Amino acid sequence: MKKLLGVASAMLVLGILCTVPMIAQEMKEKEMTVTGEVVDVACYMMGEAKGEGHVKCATACAKAGGSLGILTADGKLYVSLLPDDHKNSPNAILMDHIGHNVEAKGYVRAKGGTQGLMIKSVAMAKPMK
């Protein structure tokens, strides 16, 4: 009985050790391009504030530490994430684009229903329809 319990325990530990790397690999971030309008996350979440009429407020909120994000044409919101180098604010790369449509390339990280984007580059895009 003790031998059987020992073998079962060893198999359980081995199974866990083999599964952890597979789970970590599945959770790897995905590089992609996200196209949409740069918005202040809080104002958009509270009252759907966006567009040219909200640029001044969104800029003030971002300078005060509020998060910026990219709102896609299909309504998905990607929050700008801190770069891996920790050298700049996650808003730094988007500040000049508030209220504009952009194409942002980077790594999408998702957790608990929240989509984040660690942006590597951003450029102006055609207006959304």
Percentage of the residues of the chain whose pLDDT score is greater than 70: 76
Q: Does residue 129 belong to any structural domain of this protein?
A: no
47-61 pLDDT, tens per residue? 999 999 999 999 999
Question: Residues with Cβ < 8 Å from 64, sequence gap 6 or more?
Answer: none
Task: Answer yes or no: are the C-beta atoms of 70 and 117 closer than 8 Å.
Answer: yes
Q: Which residues contact 129 (CB under 8 A, 6 or more apart)?
A: 73
Residue 2 lies in a domain: no
* pTM score of the predicted model: 0.74
In a domain, 54, yes or no: yes
Residue 129's pLDDT is 58
15, part of any domain? no
Per-residue pLDDT of 60-92, as tens digits, reads 999 999 999 999 999 999 999 987 777 888 999
Is the residue at 4 inside a domain?
Answer: no
Domain span at residue 116? 29-124
Answer yes or no: is 91 within a domain. yes
Residue 109 lies in a domain: yes
**pLDDT at position 75, please?**
94
Number of domains, the chain: 1
The CATH code of the domain that includes 72 is 2.40.50
Amino acid 128: pLDDT: 61
CB atoms within 10 A of CB 110: 13
